[in-house]
Amino acid sequence: GTGSNILSALQDLFWLLKSKAEKQLQIISVLQWVLTFLIMGIACTLILMYILCTDCWAIAALYLAWLVFDWNTPKKGGRRSQWVRNWAIWRYFRDYFPIRLVKTHNLLTTRNYIFGYHPHGIMGLGAFCNFSTEATGISQKFPGIRPYLATLAGNFRMPILRDYLMSGGICPVNRDSIDYILSKNGNGNAIIIVVGGAAESLNCTPGKNSVTLKNRKGFVKLALRHGADLVPVYSFGENEVYKQVIFEEGSWGRWVQKKFQKHIGFAPCIFHGRGLFSSTTWGLLPYSKPITTVVGEPITIPKIDNPSQKDVDFYHSIYVDSLIKLFDKYKSKFGLPETEVLEVN
Each residue's pLDDT tens digit, 33-50: 999 988 999 999 999 999
pLDDT confidence tier of residue 203, bands split at 50, 70 and 90: confident
Q: Please provide residue 158's backbone torsions phi and psi, each rounded to the nearest 5 degrees.
A: -90, 125
Can you give the pLDDT at residue 198? 81
Pairing of strands 113-118, 210-211: unpaired
Can you give the pLDDT at residue 11? 57
Q: What is the mean pLDDT of residues 190-195?
A: 97
54 Cβ partners below 8 Å, 6+ apart?
A: none
Q: Above 60 in pLDDT, residue 1? A: no
To 5 degrees, how large is the angle CA 267–CA 271–CA 277? 140
Can you give the pLDDT at residue 253? 83
Can you give the pLDDT at residue 262? 75
Q: What is the mean pLDDT of residues 252-265?
A: 79
Q: Above 70 in pLDDT, residue 12? A: no
pLDDT confidence tier of residue 223, bands split at 50, 70 and 90: very high
Reported as half-sphere exposure (CB side, CA atoms, 13 A), residue 73 has a value of: 19
To 5 degrees, how large is the angle CA 45–CA 47–CA 51? 120
pLDDT confidence tier of residue 169, bands split at 50, 70 and 90: very high
Can you give the pLDDT at residue 13? 53
pLDDT confidence tier of residue 151, bands split at 50, 70 and 90: very high
Q: Which residues pair with 210 in a beta bridge?
A: 343
Q: Above 90 in pLDDT, residue 310? A: yes
Chain CA centroid to CA 233, Å? 12
Q: Above 70 in pLDDT, residue 3? A: no
Sort 270 into a burial class: Cβ within 10 Å, 0-12 / 13-18 / 19+: exposed
pLDDT confidence tier of residue 17, bands split at 50, 70 and 90: low
Q: Above 60 in pLDDT, residue 248? A: yes
Q: Above 60 in pLDDT, residue 7? A: no
DSSP assignment of 109-178, as one string? TTS-EEEEEE--TTT-HHHHHHHSSSTT-HHHHSTT-EEEEEE-GGGGGSTTHHHHHHHTTEEESSHHHH
Share of the chain above pLDDT 70, in %: 94
Q: Which domain holds residue 22?
A: 2-344
Q: What is the mean pLDDT of residues 236-261?
A: 86
d(Cα 36, Cα 43) in Å, to the nearest integer?
Answer: 9
Can you give the pLDDT at residue 195? 96
Q: What is the mean pLDDT of the chain?
A: 92
Q: Above 60 in pLDDT, residue 9? A: no
pTM of this prediction?
Answer: 0.91
Q: Above 70 in pLDDT, residue 135? A: yes
Q: Give the helix/strand (H/E) hosting 9.
A: helix 2-35
Q: What is the mean pLDDT of residues 280-304?
A: 95
Can you give the pLDDT at residue 251? 86
Nearest to 120 by CA among 301, 241, 39, 14: 241
Helix, strand, coil percentages in the chain from 3-state DSSP, rounded to 5: 50, 15, 35
Can you give the pLDDT at residue 26? 95
Can you give the pLDDT at residue 343? 94
Domain count for the chain: 1
